[in-house]
Amino acid sequence: MASRPLQPLITAIGRVLLGKEEPVKLALACLLARGHLLIEDLPGMGKTTLAEALARGFGLSFKRVSFTSDLLPADLTGINVFDAANTRFHFQPGPLFSQVLLADEINRASPRTQSALLEAMAAGRVSVDGVSHPLPQPFLVIATQNGIDQVGTAPLPESQLDRFLMRLSLGFPNREAERALLSGAALPPASLEPISNPAGLLELQGQAAAQHCSTALLDYVLDLAAFSRRGDQPGPGLSPRACQGLVAAARAWSLLEGRDHVTPTDVQAVLPAVANHRLQRDAAALLAGVDGLR
């Protein structure tokens, strides 16, 4: 039986973020699939803890930006600053130049700033005053938004949502976990020892992308997409980019499961996280509508 390469990390994060193994694993899969993560949840559910734990686990640099309505794109990307000693400008990188960026309350920023962030996420580089600066690798954006408190926000349009590989919701911990939390059993994220390094993460990402997808599995994904696009289903259905993301996430998930090939079970495990924010409805109907016996 193949080993599960990241099980120690999942266990370690579990000691920091109690009772949240499933979202942790999904977040990790998102990281391995080179995607970006949107967490939609109430404040105080452990979003920051999760982001910080992920970053520390791989020894990645971590920054956090609280998005407000007056945040400007330059506040994220950085600006050219005049160096009086050398009498010339030099680039002062903004918080975007970190390996894990926590973009808190992304829906509070202006659409212009949101757009700048999403462009950077998609392109992997930032242009300031005509000079292109590559972002560090690996690069993971964890954006959060508060789904309830909507006054004075600019909700992300669907086209922007599509850029996030997954949307997760941490949710309340169960009673056991919460009791343990209150009794002080949870460790601070700072206590997490790195189990790998950025190079190791890049290698894992490469490995995930190389997981075997058989024709039968791709047919399953295509059937899911076709079902979501059917006339009797609400919404426009899964985009080709969504399908790509679904396969990439399923690949990463199968790696976490310790296998070298992807199965429909992997697709089913990641489908709600990948599809829910794109379909604006529950992906469970999608899973029930397509024959998994193949």
Partner 1 sequence: MSPSARWLQILGLAVLGAGLPGLDFGAPLGWLSAGLLLLAALKLAEARSLQERRLVSLLTLIGCGVQGAQQPELLPSVLQLLGTGLALAGLLALEVGAGLSWRALLRRSLTVLVAALPMALLLFLLVPRLDPLWTAPNLQGSGAAVTGLSADLDPGSIASLANDEAPAARVSFSGNTPPDPQGRYWRVIVHERFDGRRWSRLDEPATAAVPQATPPGSAEGAATPSQVWLAEPSPVQALPWAGTGQGSPSQLRVSPGGELRRQLPGRERLAYLLRDVDRPQPWQQRPPTLVDLTLPVGSNPQLEALGERWRALPQPEQRLAAAEAWFTSQNFRYSRTPGVLPARQGLDVFLFERREGFCGHYASAFTALMRAAGVPARVVSGYLGGRWVQPLGGTPYLDLRQSDAHAWSEVWLPNRGWQRVDPSAWVGASASNPAGAARSAAGPVNLQGWRRGIQWLQWQWWGLDLAWNRWWLGFDQASQEALLERLFGDQRQGLGLVLLGGAGSLLALGIGWLQWLQAPARGDRLDRDLRAVIRRLQQAGIEPAPGETFEQLCLRAGERLPASREALQELGRCHRLLRFARLEPTARARHWAAWRTALRSLQRSPKSTL
Where along the sequence are the contacts to partner 1 (CB under 8 A)? 212, 214-217, 259-265, 268, 287-294
* Nearest distance, CB of residue 277 and partner 1, angstroms: 20
Q: Which of 133/259 has CB closer to partner 1? A: 259
Q: Which of 241/261 has CB closer to partner 1? A: 261
* Nearest distance, CB of residue 30 and partner 1, angstroms: 22
Separation between Cα atoms, residue 174 and residue 22, nearest integer Å: 13
Separation between Cα atoms, residue 140 and residue 30, nearest integer Å: 9
The DSSP H or E segment spanning 64 is strand 62-66
Q: Which of 122/285 has CB closer to partner 1? A: 285
* Nearest distance, CB of residue 247 and partner 1, angstroms: 13
Contact (Cβ atoms closer than 8 angstroms) between residue 60 and residue 201: yes
Helices in 155-283 by DSSP H: which ranges? Answer: 158-161, 175-182, 198-209, 215-228, 240-256, 264-279
- Sign of the CA dihedral running 140, 266, 277, 45: negative
Q: Which of 62/227 has CB closer to partner 1? A: 227
* Nearest distance, CB of residue 204 and partner 1, angstroms: 19
Separation between Cα atoms, residue 294 and residue 263, nearest integer Å: 10
Contact (Cβ atoms closer than 8 angstroms) between residue 47 and residue 64: no
Q: Which of 179/212 has CB closer to partner 1? A: 212
Q: Which of 259/281 has CB closer to partner 1? A: 259
* Nearest distance, CB of residue 104 and partner 1, angstroms: 36
Cβ density class 10-38: b for 16+ within 10 Å, e for less: bebbbebbbbbeebbbbbbbbbbbbbbbb
* Nearest distance, CB of residue 237 and partner 1, angstroms: 17
